[in-house]
Amino acid sequence: MAAPAIHRATYQDVLDAPEHLVAELIDGQLHLHPRPAKPHAAATTVLGEELGPPFRRGRGGPGGWIILDEPEIHLGADVLVPDLAGWRRERMPQIVADEAFFTLAPDWACEVLSPATAKTDRTDKLRIYAQREVSWVWLVDPLAHTLEVLERTASRWTILSSHRDDDRVRARPFDAFELELALLWADVVLPDAPR
């Protein structure tokens, strides 16, 4: 008896996914996960707020970037939704409002890890980002209070640095600015943490 054929997901499956879930296509498989939990959402929001003025607006920094929250990015047959992504303006000077998604790989992607997505973020998505020549990936863990900075060298990732807790960080590609990591988790109290 032959094994049943595996359904190869398509973009229609992404479009048909329930609105309360994030849908991604990775290696022909549909991945659904819930919207970010509170620590995840807080870290992502604060990181975007911190990077926006110096790098998107050029206030207190060099400018020259477009940085977006949860953009849908089509990289070949894969559809990824990083928590944050950034494009150098020399590669993407403006956002063209022709489609609901991007087909140009970002220069930088940030994945904020959660128990539901960490395995995929650290394996499948990193592989796809490397194949599509994303230069840097940040992995932020809001529960462990860590930041890992990765840089693509050829088709492999090199860990440039790892940071934790209340470190003050100058991390590529945004090393013209000092990021206070404590800000990313300052507003969230974990249930078993002292208050």
Q: Which residues of 15-52 are buried (b: 16+ CB within 10 A; e: fewer)?
A: eebeeeebbbbbeeebbeeeebeebbbbbbbbbbebbe
- Tell me what pLDDT residue 1 has: 61
For the chain, which residues score pLDDT lower than 50?
195
Q: How many helices (H) and strands (E) does the chain have?
A: 5, 12
Which pLDDT does position 5 carry in this prediction?
A: 59
Question: What pLDDT is attached to residue 98?
Answer: 87
8 A C-beta contact, residue 156 and residue 132: no
Entry field: residues in the chain: 195
Cα–Cα distance measured from residue 5 to residue 170, given in angstroms and rounded to the nearest whole number: 49
Sequence-distant (≥ 6) Cβ neighbours of residue 128 within 8 angstroms: 26, 75, 78, 80
Q: For position 154, what pLDDT does the model report?
A: 86
Q: Is the dihedral of CA 8, 12, 15, 18 positive or negative?
A: negative
At 6 the pLDDT is: 67
Supply the pLDDT for residue 78.
97
- Structural domains for the chain: 36-185 (3.90.1570.10)
Structure confidence at residue 111 (pLDDT): 98
User: What pLDDT, on a 0 to 100 scale, did the predictor assign at position 156?
Assistant: 92
Helix (H) or strand (E) holding 126: helix 126-131
What one-letter code names the amino acid at 193?
A
**pLDDT for res 188:** 85
